[in-house]
Amino acid sequence: MTDDANAPWLIVGLGNPGPEYAANRHNVGFMVVDLLAERIGGKFKRAQKAQAQVVEGRMGPPGPANRRVILAKPMSYMNLSGGPVTALRDFYKVPTAHVVAVHDELDIDYGVLRLKIGGGDNGHNGLKSMTKAMSAEYHRVRFGIGRPPGRMQVADFVLKDFSSSERKELDYFVDRAADSVECLVAEGLERAQSAYNS
């Protein structure tokens, strides 16, 4: 697969399927791709070739910066995300450098964004699974959720819903994360980093 400027982009929100997980911190990736799907006027449907839900459409301003995109939510549970993502990448002929994982990040303060390509998984099981399945050279939109308070276990913290005070700003932060994905796809990583890495 060539890294063709006109190749489609695969934007993957990481999360866990099912209503009991829907509002968890770990599911912020799903929240961001849900908003992106709304913006492009698409509804998620079951993928034919992968355990995932997908929306196909176009993103970006009219003209050469307008890109074909596939938005995806793996339905495999977080720690098995790599299988569905790789199947979608291969089916839609997406270069790995055009894959974007949107995910929660413990080591960044709540609501802060960091965009990058490649790197480690920092203990994130979704990223670990993706990297094992296809290499680390994909983009990440890291959505800060902060560290657990006191002695709370990381697993308990990420599988809890956002607190009531966090929820007051959540829509704004999800909106900003969706903006950053659109900027990344249309204008490239450097432009998106300078605009959104805070």
Which one of 26, 98, 103, 124 is the catalytic residue?
Answer: 26
Question: How many Cα atoms occupy the beta-carbon half-sphere of 23 within 13 Å?
Answer: 8
Pairing of strands 113-117, 139-144: antiparallel
- In 3D space, the residue among 7, 32, 26 whose CA is nearest the CA of residue 115 turns out to be 32
Which tokens belong to 125? Answer: 């099981």
H/E stretch holding 113 reads strand 113-117
Q: Is 124 a catalytic residue?
A: no
Which tokens belong to 32? Answer: 């961001």
Active site residues: 26
